[in-house]
Structures are given as C-alpha cells and as structure tokens.
Amino acid sequence: MGECLWQAQVAGSFFIILIKPLLTLQYYYGKQPNFFHMKTHIPQLFTILLFISSGISRSYANPQENELFLVQNGKTDYRIVISRNAGETEKKAATEFQRYIREISGAKLRIITDKRKIREYEIILGRNRHLEEIYPSMKYDNLEEDGFTILTHDKKLIIAGGTQKGLIYGVYTFLEKYLGCRIYSSKVKIIPRYGNITFDQINDTQVPVIKFREDYYRDVYDPLFMDWHKLDSHRDEWGYWVHTFHRFVPPEEYFGEHPEYYAMLNGQRVPHTQLCLSDTNVFNLLVSNLQKRIEENPKAHYWSVSQNDTYGYCQCTECQAIDNKEDSHSGSVIHFVNKVAAKFPDKTISTLAYQYSRSAPKHIVPADNVNIMFCSIECNRSRPIITDPSSESFREDMGDWSAITDNIVVWDYVIQFQNLVSPFPNLRVLQPNIQFFVENNAKAMFQQGNREAGGEFAELRAYLIAKLLWDPYIDIDSVMNDFLFVYYEDAGPYIREYIDIMHDALELSEKDLAIFGSPIDHMDGYLVPDLVEKYNALFDKAEGAVAGQPDVLERVKIARLPLDYAMLEIARATGTGPEGIFMKENNIWTVKPEVKKRLEEFVNLCNKAGVTRLKEWHTTPNDYREIMKRVFEISMVPHKALKKKVTMIIPASKKYSGGNAGILTDGLMGTSDWYYMWLGWEEDDMEVVIDLEEVKKISKISAEFLQDIRSWIFMPEFVKYSGSVDGKNFKEIGRIDNDTPVKEEGVIIKGFKTEVEDVEARYIKIYAKNMGLCPDWHIGGEGKAWIFLDEIVIR
C-alpha cells in the first residue's frame, strides 16, 4: 500500500510539472497546446505520458473507486473547518482556500468552526477539535515552524501546519501541486478553470531543511509570491542586517577625539575602515549603542555586528596577536562578537565571514547565539562549487565553519552585478551550489539577486531559486520547463533551446563566469558571432510563435534584452568590423544604422518594462543611451594621435584591459563600465609618451579620466602635458588642475583639455598625479587610490 501511494504521488508530481502546464493553457486560455514543440524539446514527455496513462494518477479523468469529488459540476458538499480560536494564519488559510476553489470551479465552500459537529465531507485546516478527534496521532512538533502535512482520511482532506506559516504554505502547495495553480511572478498568475475537482489518497508531509529562505529579487517581495513560494525576508526579524561597525561606532562622531577606536593601518589610525576590536572602550560603546537599538526595536531577534564593506582590518599589536593565534582575521572578529553575544543571551548576534574574514578561526568557536554569515563573493559561477578547482579554498573554509557551528547563513550571489541586463548562464549551478551549502550545515540562505527592477531572466531565476530553497533536491529541469512553457507559452521551447545552447557553450569554453564580469569577457566563448546569430534566430522564432498575443510577446522581447545588450557592448568593444559600431563610408567612420536602431529599441523597452538600472549602483537605461551616443559622436574621429604608438613610463595595472597601452589611442571611448577599455594605476602616478611619428603642429590635447569613489577611483590631482621633438628633451606646454569634487559620487568621466599655440612636437608626454592613498574620510581610507585613463586625443 505504501509503495502504491508513493507511486501515485510521484506520478501526480510529474503530471503537474510536465503535463499540467499544457492543460492549464487549454483551460485558462481556451487553446490547444503545441505538442509538436513539446516533443521536439522534451523527449521524456512521452515516457511520462505513458506512465500516467497506466492509471496510477487520474487527476483529470473520471473519478475512480478511491477518488473523491471536492467539486462536481460546480457544486460541493464540503465545508472548511477551522478552530473556534483561529488566529490570523488559520483565517487567511481558510479564506484563500475558499477563494481559489471558487475561482477554479465556481463552487463556494462554507467556512465553519470546530464548534459544529463532525461531518463526512470536511476540509480541516489547522489544529482544531475535529482534527484531534479523527486523527489524534498528528505529530505537530515534527512540522517545526514552516512544515505541513496534506492528508486524506476517509472522505476528509486535512492540511495541518507548523507553528509559523506552515498552514498557509500547505494550502498553497495543495493548490499548486494537486490543482495546477501557478504564481510565476507578481504579475503572472495561472488559475485553471474546471467544474470538477477530484482528489485521490494523499499523504504528503514537507518540512524544509533550509529554515530561513530569502530570494533577493525586487519582484519577489510581493506578499502573495512570498507566501506562495514559502520565502522569508530579513526585514521581518532582523534589527540590523550587515556591515554595521560604522553604524554602531560612526567615525564622524568619534574619530576626532578617539582615533584609537578605529583600525590601525601601516602604523596610523584610519577612520573609514574597520574597528579596533581589542579596544575595551570600543566594546563598551558598541554594546551601549546596540542596547539602545534593541530598546527601539525589541521584536527584532537578529542583530548584525559585522565588518564594514571594505578591507582595512586592524593591525595593532593586540588585534594582530589574536589573528595570528587563530591563523585567520576572523579570530579577532569572533573573539569580539562572542563577548557582545554574551551581553544579549536572548538575541542572536550575526557577523560576517567575508573577504578577509572568510576563513574560520583555528581554536575559538562562535557562541551558541552567534550566527555566521558566510559569503561566496569570490566564487566562479561557470561550474558548481563542489567541482570547481578555483573554489577549493572556499570549500575548505565552508567545511571549517560547518565543523564548529550549525548557525550559518550562506550569502550567495546569483547575478552579474556589473551588467544586470546581460546574458549570465549560471542556471545549471544554482541547484548543486545550494545542495553543497545544505550538506555543509547551512540552514539559512540569502540568495542575492537584483535589488533593481528587471534583469536577465529575473522572473525565471527568482522562481527556480524559490523552488530550490524549499526543496534543494527537486527536479529543477522539470520546474524550468514548467515555467518556460507557460510563462512564454508557444515561445517557451525556443527560449529553452537558447538557454541550453548558451550553457553548453559556456561549459565548452571552460571559462570562468564572474559576478562582476561583462559580455565582453565571453566574445570568444558563448557570445561568438555564430552563436549570437543562432540566438537571434531562436528569438525571431519565439516572437513569431506568440505574435498575436501582445502580453506574451512583450515577455519574450524582455527575455531578449540581454542579448541585445551583449551585442551593443561587443560592438562598443570591437569598434570596427562585422560586430563593431562603425563602418567606413567615403573614407569616414560612421555609426551603423542597425546599431543606432538596436540602442533605441533596447532603451525604450527597458523603460517600458520598468528596468531601473543596468549596473548595480548606477546607469539607468536613459544614462546608457547618452553614454553610447557619446561613443558614437567622439569615437573614431580623426586626430593626430589616433592609432599611434604609446609608451608607458609608469606601467598600468594588468587588471584592466590587460594593461594594453594601445587602448589609449584606439579611437574607442570608454564608458562608465571601467572594467573594459580603461587603464588603471593603483597608487602610482600615470606617465605615458605618444609618438606622432613626425613633427606636427599641436593646438589641442585632451585626456579622458574617470572617477568612481565607491571603487576607490579618483580624478588625478592635476594633468601635465609636455612636448618634444627628439623624445629626450620635453617642455611643459599645459597643465590642468582637477576641479571635480573629490567626494562626488557616481561614475564621472572628465576630459582634461588644454589649448596651445605655436607648438611643434613629435612626442607628447602626459603625466597625471595620483593622490596615492584614499582620503581619511573614505571607506578605503589609507588604502591605495586608483586613477583611470582612457582616450588621449591630440589635434
């Protein structure tokens, strides 16, 4: 009997995942699904069809001997029973069950309390007298906070839940798993329509192994989506989240009189880095300020006492001694946080294992009420962490932490933050990575997606993550098919093929996939011209398949935005040639009309779809249009330095554009994405010489610099130009001091321009003065400052 029930449940779940979307299309939209596409793209479909036709699951056939009518011909004999003392969760569960059944079938279920006598046909929700009398062996404790049981007993349907939201989660699971309802996003909801609802014997208990599940996409925080997909938000129980040292001990308030409160770097106290964690007064002050915050927000259980989002750990003798003993910079952190936690035994104090503090200490262990937020920011996303050679140290650190505590929140990163609307084929690593975390003692997870609206496959990725956080071992391939073939309807198979080809190409390239990368990184991998052509052909077919359905067609076009963005970025980086921006016409470089058109269509659709930014902290779609227009207008314009040889007196860092000096005179203007087509000098001044190949008259010189203080990049203090006929004896011909405020945020591009008269030279030297170290007020105070240079123009 147990085996038969298991088979029925498996068949039912397969039925829901692969077949019911087809039925949903028929019921909801009144159309037949395209089985040809399904056969083409999911060969296993017909195996499942054969399995179901054997009679194991008959959810949509005539009821069999053991099946019951919940609704028959739009009418029902059932009623919903809740406790006479029902709380808000039970009441909501009852009204939601009632509402959806009525929307599906037209039948209205009555809601009564357990004061009434037990009847034959009941839907019993939550803990109440009826449940206790007919099923006294129900083990509520096993359901914990969020677990639930869906159970049939005689002719009754029972849904019982844990102490928090288990009941409402059980109701929504019944509606999805057994009736075919779907919530794909905050805007796309599928409710099938049929007059008969039957159910077979059910015995379905689910208790999540991940106890805290946050899926960090803006759209996810829709209340219905959150509850339907059983998700949490740190906003509910956390007082402070992360990076809190500066909030508890703000340097603006304390550094002037107490520099000893802050980290010592290179023998000096620096305000905007970390705290000195061995200082007794720092401990007392932080505890006092934390106590005040708790009194202001007593319901919050979790409070983060954690490093700021920068480096600069304290190097004083006392802090260094602790770190040396523990063989990790987390040593002084855990030593400090444990003492804080001891002051607040009824709260959980969280701290970060992040960047310099990621490795676990060798001897000290976190206190019972200390939470470790373990971060994967450095990991490659092209291969699962468990098999990726470059993630070996991360695996070791995860294992070390899990050996000394079971109170771990994993902070994982699942998008490309530097290019939010760009192809990022990481869907195949989502499941193995979450499984790896679970198998290493992580019981809480924060999956960081896009804080902005939109992004590449935002709805799909959020949906997949939600399912994996509840059940890390779910058949995720089937879940993806379920989403694609309903959300995109007849375009779904083409989009699935696009996803598969791109992921296959990434694996074949054996290249890493970085969360701060760019499509330019993969011009020789999954974005080679032949594949881009194939992707466009698939999207052309996808759009054609839903041409008569405006809403679905727009979803398909939004899914195509990352491909358009990649083509624009590759065109910008390439400059000329088949994939470039420019073509030569009458010996003059001009912008290709198709590139201009693609830019306008991309920006317009981003705005229509509500995309707020293309990069994590900046660049709206309209900003991007202006950036690209600037590239159109000033790139490839003839001038005396175009394509001329550049010699670097002070070499640039190889981290950016490979330190290639040719970047400075290639005629292609860099944009706000300073990872590409810019050169950077860390702490060093910049000095280069351009050889014009012959003596020429000079009238104007300009060099483009960039500032992004969030990334420790500042304008040079000044730029000096010198000229020479022989390349040995140089004479200064112009100097421009910086007038951009050093505290001005955002990405700023500025040309340092000078006009000269009667200057003849073959060699032009450009020197830029780096401030050397970040200012004291900066979060990277006393850290090395950068200057970034792109194009040098000489007329």
Query: pLDDT at residue 705 above 90?
Result: yes
- The angle formed by the CA atoms of residues 745, 750 and 756, to the nearest 5 degrees, is 150
Phi and psi torsions of 439, nearest 5°: -75, -5
* Beta pairing class for 645-650 and 588-591: unpaired
Residue 61's pLDDT is: 38
User: Residue 439 in contact with residue 398, Cβ under 8 Å?
Assistant: no
Amino acid at 137: S
For residue 290, pLDDT over 80 is answered with: yes
Close Cβ partners of 61 (under 8 Å, ≥ 6 residues apart) = none
Please tell me the predicted confidence (pLDDT) of residue 64: 55
Task: Show the tokens assigned to 207.
Answer: 């208790």
Point out the least confidently predicted range of 138-147, 219-228, 633-642.
Answer: 633-642
Q: What CA–CA distance (Å, rounded) separates 669 from 630?
A: 8
Q: Which amino acid is at 402?
A: S
Q: What is the 3-state secondary structure (H, E, C) of 93-113?
A: HHHHHHHHHHHHHCCCCEEEE
Count of all residues that appear for the chain in the document: 795
67 near 200, Cβ under 8 Å?
Answer: yes
HSE of 499, CA atoms in CB hemisphere, 13 A: 20
**Using DSSP, how many helices (H) and how many strands (E) does the chain show?**
23, 28
Rounded distance, CA 654 to CA 648, Å? 13
The pLDDT value recorded for residue 48 is: 34
Q: Specify whether the CB–CB gap between 28 and 190 falls below 8 A.
A: yes
DSSP structural state of residue 327: T
- Average pLDDT of the residues in 484-504: 98
Four-point Cα dihedral 199, 205, 211, 217, nearest 10? -20
**Under 8 Å between Cβ of 779 and 273:** yes
- The per-residue pLDDT of the chain, averaged, comes to 90
Tell me: pLDDT of 671 over 90.
Answer: no
The answer to whether 193 and 115 are in contact (CB under 8 A) is no
Cα separation, 357 vs 400, whole angstroms? 13
pLDDT single digits (tens) 407-459: 999 999 999 999 999 999 999 999 999 999 999 989 999 999 999 999 999 99
Question: Does residue 89 register a pLDDT over 60?
Answer: yes
pTM of the model: 0.87
Position 33 pLDDT exceeds 50: no
Per-residue pLDDT, averaged over 72-92, amounts to 95
Residue 791: how many CA atoms within 13 Å on its side-chain side?
23
Give the 3-state secondary structure of residue 250: coil
Q: Which pLDDT band, with edges at 50, 70 and 90, does 536 fall under? A: very high
Confidence of residue 545 (pLDDT cuts 50, 70, 90): very high
> Could you read off the pLDDT of 189-198 as tens digits, one per residue?
999 999 999 9
The Cα 609–Cα 605 span in angstroms is 6
Residue 677 Cα to chain centre, angstroms: 25
pLDDT for residue 773 is more than 70: yes
Question: What crossing angle do the helices spanning 621-634 and 593-609 adopt, rounded to 10°?
Answer: 170
Tokens 């404790």 belong to residue: 141
Query: Which residues face 216 on adjacent strands?
Result: 448
pLDDT at 38: 32
DSSP secondary structure string for all residues of 360-383: PPSS----TTEEEEEE-TT--SSS
Whether residue 717 is predicted with pLDDT greater than 60 in this model: the reply is: yes
Range of lowest pLDDT (93-107, 259-273, 429-443, 525-539): 259-273
pLDDT at residue 10, as a whole number: 31
Question: What is the C-alpha separation between 127 and 134, in angstroms, rounded?
Answer: 12
Q: What is the pLDDT of residue 65?
A: 59
Whether the pLDDT of residue 34 is over 90: the answer is no
Residue position matching structure tokens 């059910």: 202
Among 71, 56, 66, 80, smallest CA distance to 3 is for 56
Range of weakest confidence among 46-50, 281-285, 363-367, 457-461: 46-50
pLDDT in tens, 741-758: 999 988 899 999 999 888
Mean pLDDT of 762-788: 91
In sequence order, which ranges of 229-362 are alpha helices (DSSP H)? 234-237, 245-248, 251-254, 280-296, 317-326, 330-343
Instruction: Convert the pLDDT of each residue in 121-137 to its tens digit.
Output: 999 999 999 999 999 98
What percent of the chain stands above pLDDT 90?
81
Q: Pairing mode, if any, of strands 238-240 and 302-304?
A: parallel
Interval 495-500 mean pLDDT: 98
* Three-state SS letters, 695-734: EEEEEEEEEEEEEEHHHCECCCCEEEEEEECCCCCCEEEE
DSSP track, 383-435: S-TTT-GGGHHHHHHHHHHHHH-S-EEEEEE-S-TT-SSS----HHHHHHHHH
Predicted pLDDT at 782: 72
- 40 phi and psi, to 5 degrees? -70, -40
Q: Is the predicted pLDDT of residue 32 greater than 60, yes or no?
A: no
At 2 the pLDDT is: 31
Q: What pLDDT score does 672 carry?
A: 82
pLDDT-based confidence at 630, cuts 50/70/90?
confident
Residue type, 1: M
The residue-averaged pLDDT of 683-693 equals 96
Nearest 5°: the CA angle 552, 558, 559 is: 90
Q: What tokens does 479 get?
A: 């879940």
How does residue 51 score in pLDDT terms, banded at 50, 70 and 90?
very low
Q: Is 357 a residue whose pLDDT tops 60? A: yes
Host H or E run for residue 588: strand 588-591
Percent of the chain with pLDDT over 70: 92
Q: Check residue 67 and give its pLDDT.
A: 78
Contact residues for 556 (Cβ-Cβ < 8 A; gap 6+): 488, 491, 495, 539, 542, 543, 546
* Residue 292 backbone dihedrals phi, psi, to 5 degrees: -65, -40
Q: Tell me: pLDDT of 28 over 70.
A: no
* pLDDT 10s digits, 310-324: 888 999 999 999 999
Question: Residue 585's pLDDT is what?
Answer: 86
DSSP state, residue 62: S
Place of tokens 């919050």: 300
Q: How far is residue 704's CA from residue 627's CA, in Å, rounded to a whole number?
A: 14
Distance CA 545, CA 555 (A): 12
User: With contact defined as beta carbons under 8 Å apart, do 462 and 219 qualify?
Assistant: yes
Residue 15's CB is within 10 A of a number of other CB atoms, namely 23
Could you tell me if 302 and 345 are in contact, meaning their C-beta atoms sit under 8 angstroms apart?
Answer: no
Q: Quick check: helix, strand or coil at residue 610?
A: coil
Query: Given a cut of 60, is residue 230 above it in pLDDT?
Result: yes
**N-terminal to C-terminal alpha carbon distance within the chain:** 88
